[in-house]
Amino acid sequence: MIEYPWYSHPILYRVLVLSIKILNKEPLRIGAGRGSPLSPIDLPVITIRLPEGNPPYIPGSSLKGTFRSTAEYIVRSLGINACQAGACSLMLWDERERIRYGERLNRLLREGNEKEVIELLSRYCLICKLFGSSSFSSHLNFEDAYPTGGVSTSMKTGIAINRRSGAAQRGALYQVEFVNPGHEFKSKIVAKNVPNYGLGLLAVILDYLNEGIIKLGGFKSRGFGKVKVEVKEIKGKTLKDNSYISLSEVKKLPALDEYDIDIEINPDDIDGTLKEFKKAWWTYANRQRTVRG
pLDDT tens-digit map of 235-274: 999 998 889 999 999 999 999 999 999 999 999 999 999 9
Sign of the alpha-carbon dihedral angle for 16, 19, 25, 30 = positive
pLDDT value for 121: 78
Instruction: Flag whether pLDDT at 175 surpasses 90.
Output: no
Distance (Å, whole) CA 27 – CA 43: 14
What is the rounded CA–CA span in Å between residue 73 and residue 24? 23
Q: How confident is the model at residue 219 (pLDDT cuts 50, 70, 90)?
A: confident
145 class by beta-carbon count within 10 Å (0-12 exposed, 13-18 middle, 19+ buried): buried
User: What CA–CA distance (Å, rounded) separates 213 from 196?
Assistant: 23
- How many angstroms separate the CA atoms of 72 and 273, rounded? 23
Q: pLDDT value at position 43? A: 81
What does pTM read for this prediction?
A: 0.87
Residue 99 has pLDDT above 60, yes or no: no
High-pLDDT (> 70) share of the chain, %? 78
| Strands 227-240 and 243-246, bridge-based pairing | antiparallel
Would you place residue 147 in the very low, low, confident or very high pLDDT band (cuts 50, 70, 90)? very high
Higher pLDDT, 141 or 36: 141
Average pLDDT, the chain: 85
Q: Is the dihedral of CA 164, 165, 167, 168 positive or negative?
A: negative
Predicted local distance difference test score (pLDDT) of residue 200: 98
Of how many residues is the chain composed?
293
Residue type, 240: K
Largest CA distance in the chain: 69
* Cα–Cα distance measured from residue 240 to residue 175, given in angstroms and rounded to the nearest whole number: 56
By three-state DSSP, how is residue 154 classified? Answer: strand
Burial of 246 (0-12, 13-18, 19+ CB in 10 A): exposed
User: Which pLDDT band, with edges at 50, 70 and 90, does 47 fall under?
Assistant: very high
Quick: pLDDT tens for 188-216.
999 999 999 999 999 999 999 999 999 99
Does residue 172 register a pLDDT over 90? no
- List the one residue out of 43, 81, 288, 280 whose CA is nearest residue 158: 43
> What is d(CA 111, CA 114) in angstroms, rounded to the nearest whole number?
8
User: Does 278 score more than 80 pLDDT?
Assistant: yes
* Alpha-helical regions (H) of 91-214: 95-111, 114-121, 126-131, 196-210
The more confident residue out of 161 and 74 is 74
pLDDT band at 36 (very low <50, low <70, confident <90, very high): very low
User: Quick one: pLDDT at residue 1?
Assistant: 44
pLDDT (0 to 100) of residue 2: 57
| CA–CA dist 255, 18 (Å, integer) | 19
